[in-house]
Copies of this chain bind each other. A is one copy, B any other.
């Protein structure tokens, strides 16, 4: 998606350790006009699927998912990063390892809000090693629901997550795929799509 690539190029900040900071428009301050264009694009990409619900994970997926949901006319469910003590039989639970925060979260979703009848579009802001996405897929499958697709804002194409998830046969679309980043020059190369 040209508009998003241009925005990453303009406002993204490359930090040591292959970190790409996009918190001026994506995951701290949020450009709702851009989110709306992204929602339109997700609708173009997944509009032929019988999607009846969007699933995301707190916190930075929620804004993108909610704006996108308007284009699909469906509700959004967000998976919660839980304290273990809250987990009981009323939730589906999985574990997600966060490399950024160097810890493992329990992630839960209430059994009331995903069922075997559901056809789900998963939306998140970032895809790097794929741990969060694998967790969300696991939650959907625990409920016997169908993953109709996965829509990501920014994929780090040089990390393993995208390849791993596409190899499972899931329909994954990332609006911008960063192929490489150069800390010294500030250059970002995108995978042509």
Contact = CB atoms under 8 A, between A and B. Distances in A.
Contacts of A110: 23, 28-29
A35 B75 CA distance: 10
A31 interface: yes
Given A23-B110, A24-B112, A110-B23, A30 B75 contact: yes
B66 A29 contact: no
A76 B32 contact: yes
Given A32-B70, A70-B32, A75-B31, A80 B59 contact: yes
A181 interface: no
A99 to B, nearest CB: 15
Nearest to A101: B83
A62 interface: yes
Nearest to A57: B59
A25 to B, nearest CB: 8
Contacts of A69: 30, 32
Q: What's the dominant secondary structure at chain A's contact region?
A: mixed
Nearest to A71: B32
Contact of A113 (B24, B76, B83): B24
Nearest to A81: B59
Interface of A: 23-25, 28-33, 35-36, 58-59, 62-63, 65-67, 69-70, 73-78, 80, 83, 101, 109-110, 112-113
23 contacts: A23-B110, A23-B113, A25-B75, A28-B78, A28-B109, A29-B76, A29-B112, A30-B66, A30-B76, A31-B75, A32-B66, A32-B70, A32-B74, A32-B75, A32-B76, A35-B66, A58-B59, A59-B59, A59-B62, A62-B62, A63-B76, A63-B78, A67-B70
- A-B pairs, 10 with minimum CB distance: A58-B59, A63-B66, A62-B62, A29-B113, A59-B59, A32-B69, A30-B76, A29-B77, A66-B66, A62-B63
